[in-house]
A and B are shown apart, each in its own frame.
Chain A
Amino acid sequence: MTFQVAYNILLLQAILPHRFFSCVSMGIKTRVSLDSRLSPSYPEFFERIKPQSPKGSFVGYMLGKGGKRKFDEHEDGLEGKIMSPCDGPSKVSYTLQRQTIFNISLMKLYNHRPLTEPSLQKTVLINNMLRRIQEELKQEGSLRPVFTPSSQPTTEPSDSYREAPPAFSHLASPSAHPCDLGSTTPLEACLTPASLLEDDDDTFCTPQAMQPAAPTKLSPPALPPEKDSFSSALDEIEELCPTSTSAEAAAAATDSAKGTSTEASAQKLEGPQESRADDSKLMDSLPGNFEIMTSTGFLTDLTLDDILFADIDTSMYDFDPCTSTSGTASKMAPVSADDLLKTLAPYSSQPVAPSQPFKMDLTELDHIMEVLVGS
């Protein structure tokens, strides 16, 4: 079947009445659409995006200096920061990619202020993306040995990566209590990411070349060495992006503030501390009363925000002081482990209803500060 042009019909701004028919038109009105997607800047946008890495992937532009990026600007200077991601450790590029996507998703949800209602499908998909990343971060957070054995059940980590994002109720409560992360499965939690990293690295780089090899990489992941390599990977991340406004850093801060006094976590503290300034910058820029939040706090507030689900009345509940420690604790206080346990115990068993936004209560914050400082 070969197709040829019969003729073109071009819809003009004013449809001229055909000579045969007089159209009973009700007036043609022109309205400016608010759909930013169709703004004429997109062709420009794509011209500026040039693959930088030799394999022609777009990963190059995604690695940037960690500062807050404007939504529609892509400084070409970003490309100078490229570390040839496909050659580097796959974990690092995976983590950075994930971080970039997380930031993009957050910006999408908050920077977009249309005059019309945002598309629910888009919002749900972005939310799912954030949840998935957060779930991964949470699982990776369980790498660090926790001092509180948890009774909170977690889904099997290996499955959670393969399947669709877990139910939010599972996500909401334990994320506020990283101490509850199953110490029973820290190693398995870190295993799957490693294998997944290989896959996603392929996906991001050259799908065509790597696809034949991909299935073989889904073999059961390696065991103990993962933990050490992960810590070193984190160090590399810190070297690459010392000022990254990473929610991952926030999550790391969350976990590390829970009183793990191992060397591994001590290393990670440097990252969160450096990024805290940027964290708070990012947080301050968000609308609403987010003062000090973890990455999980972002998500719960995101999904609960009236902007997104306007027909749901969410009432305010007390803010869980467990999460407040992450942003404020600036130093490890090993002595406070028991105190922290006592503080956390009443909260850890309490299932956080997903409809409760976390709101900082300053008096509770003071209380926690006292506990941590070891008064």
Chain B
Amino acid sequence: MQNSNNTADIISTVEFNHTGELLATGDKGGRVVIFQREQESKNQIHRRGEYNVYSTFQSHEPEFDYLKSLEIEEKINKIRWLPQQNAAYFLLSTNDKTVKLWKVSERDKRPEGYNLKDEEGRLRDPATITTLRVPVLRPMDLMVEATPRRVFANAHTYHINSISVNSDYETYMSADDLRINLWNFEITNQSFNIVDIKPANMEELTEVITAAEFHPHHCNTFVYSSSKGTIRLCDMRASALCDRHTKFFEEPEDPSNRSFFSEIISSISDVKFSHSGRYIMTRDYLTVKVWDLNMENRPIETYQVHDYLRSKLCSLYENDCIFDKFECVWNGSDSVIMTGSYNNFFRMFDRNTKRDVTLEASRENSKPRAILKPRKVCVGGKRRKDEISVDSLDFSKKILHTAWHPSENIIAVAATNNLYIFQDKVN
């Protein structure tokens, strides 16, 4: 039933909201699909709340840049939820150029009993009106509406790769390859530029911004990562333009691992603050690293995601897989980190026990209630029974986007155009 050749269905971002009740996905076709967790009912005590489709809307449309004669993709690069402040839900969604604030609200009552028009909305002949009545609100089938409340456009010359809501809930930032802008939610025709790494001479450009995020508690602090494997922490109180960083995180290169592709595989594809705000996690092509904000010269933990690819870098460079941007996520308690890999594998690392597991998101292995079996990639010559050899990996099946529920052990994994939701085993 599912048409796998339709590239518009490829999921490009996944995000839980702050309570975990809602799960939003964006796809290449510019659509946003929101799932809502069903309330647990007493009679089905063994079933934890399932996620069902709550709302679907077209967030972005493809555009055409007439000046450059290039299309602007409608693909949703990122979705970020705002904390809930009233009955409606708000989220930010962005494509390469434009950020939009969407309001998702429910309507379950409608007014009935108008005087001047009948139930279908047709105007009534005033001559036929003999009495006046007060319209009343009557319950109706629940309808979920999504309306764009703000459109933040024309502020980015380059492609937006990140958005991040500030902890003051009044501002947010959007980052493209060379600049980061600070917005106020209420103001759409102005934004402050807080980081600009564009060189005067474009030929001198050797580094781009790859991801950016605000600190979860300190509204003046944010970090951004670069294609050279560095992370900069900036304080907006220091100056209006945060071109000079407050902290600079970089690990010295390991000379034994040096190759032609050292720079490319060091490019950081995602950076995430821990929920505590004490650590940041970065994902480069082969590893996930956890950094302590207080130590800039090296990460405190490094986890190998798929080191067996190190010998395949040339072919991965040729088919562009080396440029894949994997994301990484923390669990609610910052004790486990998760990231994706190829062949629909994703990996989880327990920071306390130092144990890691490789799981697969595939239809065959994912019947409901089935327990995910750990997978293993074999590197050497002898392949054990359940192992997969490196050469059999399917590099077109990559898991770039994953999300972890903020408080429970529920994870959402996007595998091309399928979304898998896994939960911790119920005893």
Contacts and interface: CB of A to CB of B under 8 A. Distances in A.
A110 interface: no
Nearest to B420: A8
Interface of A is mostly: mixed
A218 B203 CA distance: 33
Interface string A4-36: 111111111101011011111111111111110
Given A11-B419, A104-B317, A129-B263, A310 B68 contact: yes
A165 to B, nearest CB: 6
Contacts of A51: 391
B157 A124 contact: no
Point out which of B202, B228, B318 has the most chain A C-beta atoms below 10 A from its C-beta: B318
A208 B379 contact: yes
Contact of A354 (B8, B58, B204, B258): B204
A22 B7 contact: no
A303 B73 CA distance: 24
Contacts of A207: 257, 310-311
A97 B159 CA distance: 32
B91 interface: no
Interface bin, chain B: 35 or more
Interface residues of A, number: 98
A100 B314 contact: yes
A5 B368 contact: yes
A61 B319 CA distance: 14
B394 A124 contact: no
Interface string B70-101: 11111100000000000000000000100000
Interface stretch (B46-54, B235-243, B289-297): B46-54
Contacts of A128: 206, 263
A24 B422 contact: no
Given A1-B336, A200-B258, A168 B203 contact: yes
Interface string A268-283: 0000000000000000
B119 to A, nearest CB: 18
Nearest to A69: B318
Contacts of A316: none
B187 interface: no
B89 to A, nearest CB: 14
Contacts of A25: 56-58
B125 interface: no
B227 interface: yes
Contacts of A5: 366-372, 420-422
Interface stretch (A113-121, A138-146, A244-252, A324-332): A113-121
B34 to A, nearest CB: 10
B203 A4 contact: no
The 4 closest A-B pairs by CB, nearest first: A33-B7, A214-B256, A309-B202, A203-B259
Interface of A: 1-13, 15, 17-18, 20-35, 37-38, 40, 42-43, 45-46, 49-51, 56-59, 61-62, 97-98, 100-101, 104, 108, 115-117, 119-122, 124-125, 127-129, 131-133, 162, 164-165, 167-169, 172, 196, 199-200, 203-208, 211, 214-215, 218, 300, 303-304, 309-312, 354-355
